[in-house]
Structure 1
Amino acid sequence: MHHDISSTTVPSPWIACIHPQGWMYFFHPEFRVVTTEDIRHPHVLDIVMNKIPQYTSEDTDGELEFQLCGLSPQPLPFDHMVINHKHALASHKLQEVQNKNMTSLAAHQFSRARNHYWQYMSRYPVHMPMPENAVQEAVDALVWYFTDNLVSGANSTVPFSKGECEELLRLLQHSNIYSGSSPSKTVFLAWILKEVYSFRYAEHYGKFTEKQSREFRNQNAKPRRHEPARHSSALKDKLLNVFLVAFFFGIPWTYVAHVKSASTYKGRLANVRKTWDAYITRLVQEYTNFLLIVSRLSLIMTMRT
């Protein structure tokens, strides 16, 4: 679905495409180049056209697409992205997305290239149709995340909670997203799949055996131990403890214990937030009780005097 601004403002054969958010990018169908630079200005158009041969001449497959990320006259490592729509891959390195190199990609390279591809499609969804297997791929990932939430419970680290999986799967099932293609549908699916592949890249998806994966997860789940900066004598510790209990009702020790408990990562980040919110509520209640005790003690001391 292409949205032409007008034939007079956009130089032919460039096509102006409008993202669902309302901003514009430009696509050259002959050179298969995408840019967000405003080529309606002649000097910008000249720079972009001079940069195009620096990258498109390397396309030995004749099927790749190129995103220009800047206006530097000299080629830079990260001033462009190469996109392979056939295999849903994108990378700053041409060799990672060429058809002849598909079978030699390592698991982490594949996950990273897929993540880059879906990031790209979420930003530039207008000029290309949604890949045919995108819906099924999103559904498969969400079904597994739903299962992991059931099996692992609070220790699940997948990017979507059980409730989020249910809502997304319901939307995918009951909407007409299976029929036809539109920029909004592409952005929606791209958002899901870039989260999927970002998680897989971080989790070293496809790299370890079951035993190695379990050891890796257990190793990363263990909290880091920090040596104390200084060692206090037992007598000083006891005196400090007596002082805090006598004058502050042990609240500092309770505070430290709660902070350690609330900040310990046990699976999903949402669980940490839930624990932290519960701790804040409890802290407010304990502080209120402390103020009540102090007020009563102050009143008693005043009455005695």
Structure 2
Amino acid sequence: MSRSSTLISWTLCVHPKGWVYFYNPSLKVVTDQDIRHSQSLAIIEDISSQCPLSELTEHMEIHIYMTKKNTSSDGFSSLLNLAVNHIHCVASYDLNEIKGDNSHLLDPKLCRSLNRCRRLYWNYLWNHPVHVATPARALEDVSDALTWFYTDNLISGIKSSVPFSKTECEELSRVVAELALPRNDKSIAKTTFLAWLLREICSYRDAEHWGQYTQKESAIVRERKKPIHAMLPPSPLILFLTNVIVNVIFFGIPHTYQTHVKATSEFRGRLSSVQKTWHDYVERLAREYSEFLLIVRHL
């Protein structure tokens, strides 16, 4: 078979960012290697022949990742071929883990595996969104997650640890609602955006041990994650003298400021919350200092 006839079976796909990758629908293989070069094409075909492609069902494919390796005879090595299942929106480096129905991953002991497979899938789709349609569950999963993030912001306030603030949830929800319109049904950018968002959601859930603990167990785990600041207490004499100076000379003001700074500096899961708290605290200090100067002038 000639090289030109072989290339016909491959489809060149252009990512919204501008890079290209290649998809072979008959082999069900995707690669980032530039198969327009004969050497790369030969290597990909050789690796494909060694993959269990016959075990792939409909809507499944293999992503062949290659890296340069000086020790190999051809200068390349195939590492961690990723198996992808577009029906269940999962991906894994173990084909058996995602073949057919993935209901076994719903076992509580394997819930983290399901989240990992989902994250691998959305990360894969973010990088390779052109040759497949947007999964049907993408919009539903994103909307559900954003609704909860928004709710948690309302309930927990600055103590919320969700990855997006209330304002960000509102903005993202508007974008998602726009993407749900019929005119965006075939949008590649839509697939890319939803895949990126779902990847971040899966990363957050993995960090929060999503689906692994009961409510009580989760509370215990969260309590253990809080930092413990162990400080040696000062001697009684130094503590007494310090309190006398602070309370008598400075009217206890340093104690108040110390409490405010400690509360303001506490990290509860999102940097934007810390930034907002510090901004409010600085404004409060400026206002109190202005009022203090005004009182001094009238004395």
TM-score by length of 1: 0.74
Check conservation: 2:112, 2:212, Cα contact below 8 A. Answer: yes
**Within 1, Cα distance between the matches of 2:59 and 2:234?**
68
Equivalent residue in structure 2 for 1:31, among 27, 30, 35: 27
Say whether residues 1:133 and 2:137 are aligned partners: yes
**Within 2, Cα distance between the matches of 1:48 and 1:251?**
71
1:119-141 Cα offsets, whole Å, 9 max, x none, are 11111110001111211221121
**Structure 2 equivalent of residue 201 of structure 1:** 206
Aligned length: 276
1:29-48 Cα offsets, whole Å, 9 max, x none, are 11111111111111111112
Say whether residues 1:113 and 2:117 are aligned partners: yes
**Structure 1 equivalent of residue 227 of structure 2:** 224
1:204 CA drift (Å) = 1.8
Q: Which SS does the other structure have where 2:13 is aligned?
A: strand
**Structure 2 equivalent of residue 145 of structure 1:** 149
Check conservation: 2:160, 2:270, Cα contact below 8 A. Answer: yes
User: For the structure 1 residues 241 and 50, does the alpha-carbon distance in structure 2 shift closer, same or farther, using more than 3 Å as the test?
Assistant: farther
User: For the structure 1 residues 57 and 278, does the alpha-carbon distance in structure 2 shift closer, same or farther, using more than 3 Å as the test?
Assistant: same
**Within 1, Cα distance between the matches of 2:60 and 2:261?**
52
Say whether residues 1:264 and 2:260 are aligned partners: no
**Within 2, Cα distance between the matches of 1:12 and 1:36?**
17
**Within 1, Cα distance between the matches of 2:207 and 2:32?**
29
**Within 2, Cα distance between the matches of 1:241 and 1:55?**
74
**Within 2, Cα distance between the matches of 1:107 and 1:226?**
33
Check conservation: 1:82, 1:91, Cα contact below 8 A. Answer: yes
1:28 CA drift (Å) = 1.2
Q: Which SS does the other structure have where 2:51 is aligned?
A: helix
1:211-263 Cα offsets, whole Å, 9 max, x none, are 2223323333xx322434x776455677899999xxxxx99999977764443
**Structure 1 equivalent of residue 89 of structure 2:** 88
1:43-88 Cα offsets, whole Å, 9 max, x none, are 1111121112233347354642111221465554xx3211110100
Residue identity matched to 1:42: S
**Within 1, Cα distance between the matches of 2:41 and 2:216?**
55
Check conservation: 1:142, 1:169, Cα contact below 8 A. Answer: yes
Residue identity matched to 2:211: G
User: For the structure 1 residues 11 and 259, does the alpha-carbon distance in structure 2 shift closer, same or farther, using more than 3 Å as the test?
Assistant: farther
Check conservation: 1:31, 1:56, Cα contact below 8 A. Answer: no
Residue identity matched to 2:135: P
Residue identity matched to 2:224: Q
Check conservation: 1:16, 1:24, Cα contact below 8 A. Answer: yes
User: For the structure 1 residues 22 and 87, does the alpha-carbon distance in structure 2 shift closer, same or farther, using more than 3 Å as the test?
Assistant: same
Residue identity matched to 2:31: T
**Within 2, Cα distance between the matches of 1:26 and 1:277?**
49
TM-score by length of 2: 0.76
Residue identity matched to 1:173: A
Question: What is the Cα-based RMSD across aligned positions, in Å?
Answer: 3.6
Residue identity matched to 1:34: V
1:267 CA drift (Å) = 4.0
1:240-294 Cα offsets, whole Å, 9 max, x none, are 99999xxxxx9999997776444311243310222345567789x69x99xxxxx
Check conservation: 1:95, 1:101, Cα contact below 8 A. Answer: no
Equivalent residue in structure 2 for 1:215, among 215, 220, 231: 220
**Within 1, Cα distance between the matches of 2:163 and 2:190?**
20
**Structure 1 equivalent of residue 16 of structure 2:** 20
Check conservation: 2:11, 2:23, Cα contact below 8 A. Answer: yes
Q: Which SS does the other structure have where 2:66 is aligned?
A: coil
Residue identity matched to 2:162: V
Residue identity matched to 1:165: C
**Within 1, Cα distance between the matches of 2:146 and 2:88?**
21
User: Percent of aligned positions with the same letter in both sequences?
Assistant: 39
1:171 CA drift (Å) = 2.5
User: For the structure 1 residues 102 and 163, does the alpha-carbon distance in structure 2 shift closer, same or farther, using more than 3 Å as the test?
Assistant: same
Q: Structure 1 regions of 5+ residues with no counterpart?
A: 1-6, 245-249, 290-305
